[in-house]
Amino acid sequence: MALEIGQSAEFRAAVTDTRTPAALGQNDSVPLPPVFGTPFMIADMERACADLLIQALCDGEVSVGVTIDVRHLAPTPVGAEVISTATFTGQDSALSWFDVQSTDTTGKIGEGRIARAIVRPDTLLAKADART
């Protein structure tokens, strides 16, 4: 089933201590803050894209992130909920493009674009193995 431009999906998740830069590790010279981390925001955005793209997959296919252009605009505290939304904007060759944004109860905290490709896991793993 093909996606239609404008279709969207969202992914909701709570900000926990484990989803902060502080949880990723720090040393005494570079303390990291206990707020929602950019890698986790991007992961939530990717999840929203993947959840939307799943309807376009054939048996045995998965989607993978290819291009990410995202800005993290505002901090979100531990305990808050973040909603990440992906909206399908079109197909360019083998890439499916999405506008993405994340919000908390105060408003937008992140925005950008993500492209994903549909692949077969065996082909992906063979290419990964060839790199070792």
Burial of 82 (0-12, 13-18, 19+ CB in 10 A): buried
Q: Is the pLDDT of residue 88 over 70?
A: yes
20, 89 Cβ separation under 8 angstroms: no
> What is the CATH architecture assignment of 8-129?
Roll (3.10)
Q: What is the pLDDT of residue 27?
A: 65
Gyration radius of the chain's alpha carbons:
16
Q: Give the residue extent of every domain in the chain.
A: 8-129
Q: What is the pLDDT of residue 94?
A: 92
- The average confidence (pLDDT) of the chain is 94
Question: Which pair of tokens denotes residue 51?
Answer: 């959840």
Give mean pLDDT, residues 106-129: 96
Q: How far apart are CA 17 and CA 23, in angstroms?
A: 7
Nearest-angstrom CA–CA distance, 4 and 89: 8
| pLDDT at residue 77, rounded to an integer | 98
DSSP-derived secondary structure letter, 57: P
Residue 28 has pLDDT above 80, yes or no: no
Q: Kindly report the pTM of this predicted structure.
A: 0.93
Q: Tokens 């990440």 belong to which residue?
A: 84
